[in-house]
Structure 1
Amino acid sequence: MANSAQTQPGGAQPVGSCFPKLTFILDQGKQFGPRVGRLCLTRPSDTPSNHLIDIPTPNFLIGTSRGVIPHFSRDHVHSANGISWINVSFESFLEQTPPVPTYQAGSQPLHDFFGFDSSKHIVSLSLRDPLDAREMPPNGNSHVSASCMRGVRKVTPADWRSYVLTMQPDIAFALSDTPFTAVPHSQKRMTKSIERSAAWLADLLRPVEHTMDDSSTESTPTALNVFVHMAGGTSTSARRAFSHSFMETLHGLEADAVKPLLCLDEGVAGYAFDLAALHVRPAPSSTHNDKGGGIEIAESSLILQNSELLAQAPTPNAAHTPTSISSSMIEPISLLSLTPTLDELLRASLDPLPIAKPRLVTDVRSPHEILRLIKDVGVDVFDAGWAVKAADIGVALDLIFPVPCSHDSDPDHRKRDVGHNLYDAKYAYDFVRLSDAFLAGCDRTSSSKTPVCPCAACSPVAITSPIYHSKVDVQSHQAHLDEGTSREQFSPPFTRAYLHHLLHTHEMSAHTLLVAHNVAVLDALLTGVRTILSGHVDQHEVATIFAREVTRFEEVYDGDMSVFHTARENWKDVKYARGKGRLAREAQKGKEVR
């Protein structure tokens, strides 16, 4: 079931100078609270695209499945201007040894293999999908359990380092010993988790050894841009202990291994928080075979693992605890708060760390959670997984931040839904654009203050110039070439009724249009956040104004995301409506579970 990836991947390992330089500029903000900055990636001069990618923060990244953004073709990716950071989960390629992407040659193998634009897209590489919270076999002292289409594979730190140096990602995520087994986790397990995570981070930061002309070897410091997953689970003291472990000055053999770094944090480019392991795990009877429970969305985005069971876990004898991190650094579980909030856990990890490094959070579940984490913690980057999952179940997002005065709650004091469930029969004859908060491209006027949604569903573009397939076509349309550049015109938007029809007929283009729209709305949400935070100089005034806008957003929009739950049930009904064979059996099982 679990085989180790022992064969080295194809391709030579590059020296550290081949990697781009990632810098984070904090324009405004403090340790905790709303802040704005810029994430800048500068590629070396010897690469085909010597280009500076500048991403304003707060912003988002989008994940992939086998290197493909769900429901998107490469043309869709290139046309979506809001997508700047793409993450590739490498575990899905481990069914082959060595993995197929490692055979890609060139100076930018990761971009070339997956077809991303190196002048526009930052591409990061992680071993595991951060949204996949399925129960996994436990990790060992020298391996991480990863899931691929042929089962579970054991990936050693040496394997992962080899994959990273071969694929040359813009950003690499260090291995983390995150327990994906049933709670409770004992104090001893927490100690192992933070020890292993720190050791695996140190292994990735080791200098790169390469052979010189005289057959001698030379060590070059890695220029990897490494993000580290903040370990510690639901224990605030364990999280502080992990942060302190790579802030401490190294000595002896540990210092020689990562020389010239004085501490591990000097080699860290940013901090990542995976919330998938913190959110409530679905009941065994309702566990789905898809990653992270398929399209399931938590009832509450701030619910953590069962802290009462965690408090009952036995505290092991300190004599059996590994020596690199003393058990005295972690408070006994029985003394911990039984209800740690999400912001308390993130603050515990960030408190000992430098302020001027980017903070990434994955598996957020709602726009409300995004705004709260910006307000209370100061998170810089979020993943767009919840917006993509909304498109999976036929929800077109319809929200705006800051909320205009005209967007009050309904007269009966019902909060607005964050989107439209286009599976609902009421949209069968609703021939309007997907969003009420945004205009379509063809409706844009110079006097209107309502923003325009630039997505392919709301602002489809009709190209007026011909498409050339050969030199003969160019000669046939010489008049168009003489006129100059091609002109683009906006076509009428795709309507809710049309998307309702596509969803009920199982057309794949429905989800493509919905992903394009939802990602554009998410981009607009974070653009609104940056606009507010950049509009004032006084930080205290900025925090006050932003908190007021967040409160108004929570008062206007439904934080329970009830439209998602309704849409999920409608999605199941449509999926199994014409089911035969396996689909029919799954539909019957679904009825029995209900």
Structure 2
Amino acid sequence: MGSTDAVAAVQVANLPSEMFSIIKTSGTIGPRLGCLRLAGRQVLETPHFLAITSRGVVPHITQDSFAGATGISGVPPDGSSPLRRFIALPEPTLLVLGARRTPPVFAPSANPNTNTSVSICTSVGFRPMKAADYAEGVERLQPDIVVGLGDIPYGRALGAKRIEKATDRNIEWLQSHVKARNDAKAPKGSRSKLFASLPPVSCANQQYYIDTLTQDVAKDVDGLAVYDMVSLEDLPEQLRHLPKLAFTEPSTPHEILRQISLGIDVLTIPFLTAATDAGIALDFTFPANSSEQEAQPKILGVDMWLEDHATSLQPLVDGCKCYACTNHHRAYVQHLLNAKEMLAWVLLQIHNHHTLDLFFAGIRQTLRNGSFEDNVERFAKVYETLLPEKTGQGPRVRGYQYKSEGPGEPKKNAAPFQTFDDKKEKLAESTPPSAEAGAAELEELGFAEKQT
């Protein structure tokens, strides 16, 4: 442990016992250094990020690799204490449970939210889930943090009537959830922490809901789930002390820095796994470690599909100390990608999570020493604004990548094998052609081929 880490450890050890503590802040609206602690879980220094999971597992990473080769402190899985045992997730890991995946899935207009339910994507299509069933289910599962069910429109413009409808539903669902928790009379320390969902509009446009948060359920809400940064612009003072968990889909590290500068404490980062699937090894640090201004901005990632890496014995990123970079080289990873070996994406996922760990550690250090704003400006000058474009083929599409396009959509994964000579099979399975059948019909049945 270095001197900086030692100072941070001392600061965390001296914190009060409440769930979330703000160590240092630059003002009412701005970046802040904090600490999220729950009984029996690893202390999460903020700003930080949650690893996004699919069915309770970080894509490409098995649980032994999760524990031994990454520093992931928290995940939002599809379950909790019983599921923790089922998926063999390490006990110190913070678990967050919500109804909406990140990034979300666009629901068809034929499956709208109602006053009592939301539309969710399941293995058998879109189905309604009642708000009461959700509240009952999450309390039984007992995750560390529950994201309250919200009517959060996605993919459609929000008019005044739609915002009013969402506000009314959120008030009703949150009050019912809080009442159910209080009626259960479970010990305060054993209950999951409840984060209220903020619809993606300004607080002024959902004033009745904000009044409910600051008055009726103020003692029952432990944090806020944010879906759009516009919700923080006029957030009332009574709610600013709460931890803010963002489901805002930042697409670049620049966007992460912007959201942290507006007061976000914990983020979910979809581009991390998207880069892994694209065969890109993330390559950026904060603060930017360039000693002088580069002639050209640095790239944010290395595309392992490029032929230049076919014989390269360099690590994925020079100087990186992650498992992938200390044990393997670029040529090996590119060979794995070309062979479609699962290990390619395992190594990239380990490296990319390590890169984000160091990125957030650097953010927290600059917040401690007061140089965050200056380093954000420097980072914008040193690095390109966008991640590299995808050039290669990713792994087979999994559930976390699924995007509904409507009825009759084709299969997401092409068949890996095709019949060598399917014409004979077609002929054997087809009925005999009629005497009036033309050449085109005979060819379609596999009876003959038209000679040219």
Same fold (TM over 0.5): yes
The superposition leaves residues 165-216 of structure 1 with CA deviations (integer Å, 9 ceiling, x where unpaired) of 2111111111010123x53332111011111112211222125488xxxxxx
Aligned position for 1:31: 28
Conserved in 2, the CA contact under 8 Å of 1:208 and 1:221? Answer: no
Say yes or no: does 1:270 pair with 2:223: yes
Say yes or no: does 1:372 pair with 2:258: yes
Aligned position for 1:555: 381
Say yes or no: does 1:435 pair with 2:317: yes
Q: Measured at CA, do residues 209 and 52 of structure 1 come closer, stay the same or move farther in structure 2, by a change above 3 Å?
A: closer
Conserved in 1, the CA contact under 8 Å of 2:281 and 2:351? Answer: yes
Aligned position for 1:286: none
**Paired AA for residue 418 in structure 1:** L
- Count of residues in Structure 1 that have an aligned counterpart in Structure 2: 382
Q: How does 1:90-489 map to 2 (within 5 A)?
A: 108-118=81-91, 120-136=92-108, 137-180=111-154, 183-208=156-181, 219-220=185-186, 223-231=191-199, 233-235=200-202, 237-248=204-215, 263-275=216-228, 342=229, 344-348=230-234, 350-362=235-247, 363-375=249-261, 377-406=262-291, 408-409=293-294, 411=295, 414-436=296-318, 438-439=319-320, 453=321, 455-459=322-326
Q: Measured at CA, do residues 396 and 115 of structure 1 come closer, stay the same or move farther in structure 2, by a change above 3 Å?
A: same
Query: Whole-Å Cα distance in 1 between the matches of residues 373 and 131 of structure 2?
Result: 43
The superposition leaves residues 323-351 of structure 1 with CA deviations (integer Å, 9 ceiling, x where unpaired) of xxxxxxxxxxxxxxxxxxx4x44323x33
Task: Choose which of 497, 514, 523 in structure 1 pairs with 2:348.
Answer: 514
Please, what is the CA RMSD of the aligned residues? 2.7
Structure 1: stretches of 5+ with no match in the other structure: 1-20, 43-50, 91-100, 102-107, 211-217, 249-262, 276-341, 440-452, 460-492, 536-541, 583-594
Q: Secondary structure at the match of 2:377?
A: helix
Q: How far 1:241 sits from its partner (Å)? A: 4.9
Query: Whole-Å Cα distance in 1 between the matches of residues 396 and 269 of structure 2?
Result: 25
Query: Whole-Å Cα distance in 2 between the matches of residues 73 and 572 of structure 1?
Result: 19
Q: How far 1:533 sits from its partner (Å)? A: 1.0
Q: TM-score by structure 2 length?
A: 0.78
Q: Secondary structure at the match of 2:226?
A: strand
**Paired AA for residue 271 in structure 1:** L
Query: Whole-Å Cα distance in 1 between the matches of residues 232 and 222 of structure 2?
Result: 17
The superposition leaves residues 400-435 of structure 1 with CA deviations (integer Å, 9 ceiling, x where unpaired) of 1101243642x3xx2111010101111112210111
Q: How far 1:532 sits from its partner (Å)? A: 1.1
Q: How far 1:517 sits from its partner (Å)? A: 0.5
Q: Secondary structure at the match of 1:246?
A: helix
Aligned position for 1:503: 337
Q: Measured at CA, do residues 527 and 152 of structure 1 come closer, stay the same or move farther in structure 2, by a change above 3 Å?
A: same
Q: Measured at CA, do residues 245 and 407 of structure 1 come closer, stay the same or move farther in structure 2, by a change above 3 Å?
A: farther
Say yes or no: does 1:69 pair with 2:58: yes
Conserved in 2, the CA contact under 8 Å of 1:89 and 1:129? Answer: no
Query: Whole-Å Cα distance in 2 between the matches of residues 22 and 227 of structure 1?
Result: 15
Structure 2: stretches of 5+ with no match in the other structure: 1-16, 398-412, 420-452
Q: Secondary structure at the match of 1:155?
A: strand
Say yes or no: does 1:526 pair with 2:360: yes
Conserved in 1, the CA contact under 8 Å of 2:290 and 2:382? Answer: no
Aligned position for 1:494: 328
Query: Whole-Å Cα distance in 1 between the matches of residues 292 and 307 of structure 2?
Result: 25
Query: Whole-Å Cα distance in 2 between the matches of residues 220 and 237 of structure 1?
Result: 35
Query: Whole-Å Cα distance in 1 between the matches of residues 116 and 152 of structure 2?
Result: 14
Q: Measured at CA, do residues 22 and 203 of structure 1 come closer, stay the same or move farther in structure 2, by a change above 3 Å?
A: farther
Q: How far 1:355 sits from its partner (Å)? A: 2.6
Of the structure 1 ranges 504-513 and 27-36, higher mean CA displacement relative to structure 2 is found in: 27-36
Q: How does 1:50-69 map to 2 (within 5 A)?
A: 51-69=40-58
Aligned position for 1:82: 71
**Paired AA for residue 251 in structure 2:** R
**Paired AA for residue 364 in structure 2:** R
Percent identity, please.
Answer: 29
Conserved in 2, the CA contact under 8 Å of 1:145 and 1:155? Answer: yes
Q: Secondary structure at the match of 1:124?
A: strand
**Paired AA for residue 368 in structure 1:** H
Query: Whole-Å Cα distance in 1 between the matches of residues 167 and 415 of structure 2?
Result: 49
Q: How far 1:112 sits from its partner (Å)? A: 1.2
**Paired AA for residue 165 in structure 2:** K
Q: TM-score by structure 1 length?
A: 0.60
Aligned position for 2:440: none
Conserved in 2, the CA contact under 8 Å of 1:228 and 1:268? Answer: yes
Query: Whole-Å Cα distance in 1 between the matches of residues 145 and 396 of structure 2?
Result: 40
